[in-house]
Structure 1
């Protein structure tokens, strides 16, 4: 079974800091968040699925944006990183140029 290289403690802390920063700024979307969380944990999709009671296919769908997870599933994934599911205002669109 393929295995991702585990990050060092420093790399993990930096990855978590960057995730939190992007989430706070509203620049983090679900597919990339799930992938980043999984990589930070050093898990394959199958390992991640088992840890969070999902199938590998469900993890894949989440990471590609094709999934339709429940709030409960999202909270299970988010909890170890100190995230909570909620509404985040969109960044204002820049004014048209020209």
Structure 2
């Protein structure tokens, strides 16, 4: 007996993290990026957590789609977001490039960081 159920049409898979994920305005995008940078600088977020927040909240892509966008493997995205692995500056720069960010130098001492911000604000 032949199966008479209609075959599902092949539709492209959604690449957004959820059906409710909306695009963000340029203002909202810049605001979120500044917020994430501040949290990384103040050690509230790790580099991996920052990537996950930016990927999900700004671009709204799943790991596999984002990995294709930045031309790295999904495993690399997963490992970076989970703060595993030891990636070169080149790879880290690739994954943060869509947000206009790249690897930079940061003082390890919170006091030095506070001093730098204070000096910059007083100029």
Class of the TM-score when normalised by the shorter of the 2 chains: 0.7 to 0.9
Match runs of 1:10-89 below 5 Å: 10-25=27-42, 27-39=44-56, 40-89=58-107
RMSD between superposed Cα atoms in Å: 2.2
State the distance in 2 between where 1:78 and 1:61 align. Answer: 14
Look at both structures and tell me which one has the larger radius of gyration over its CA atoms: 2
Structure 1 gap segments, 5+ residues each:
93-98
List, as ranges, runs of 4+ consecutive aligned residues in structure 1 with deviation greater than 6 Å: none
Structure 2 gap segments, 5+ residues each:
1-12, 112-123
Which structure has more relative contact order (CA 8 Å, sep 6+)? It is 1
Count of residues paired in the alignment: 92
Deviations 1:28-82 (A, max 9, x none): 4211111022112111000110011111111111111112221101112223323
Deviation at 1:24, TM superposition (A): 4.5
Q: TM-score, normalised on structure 2?
A: 0.61
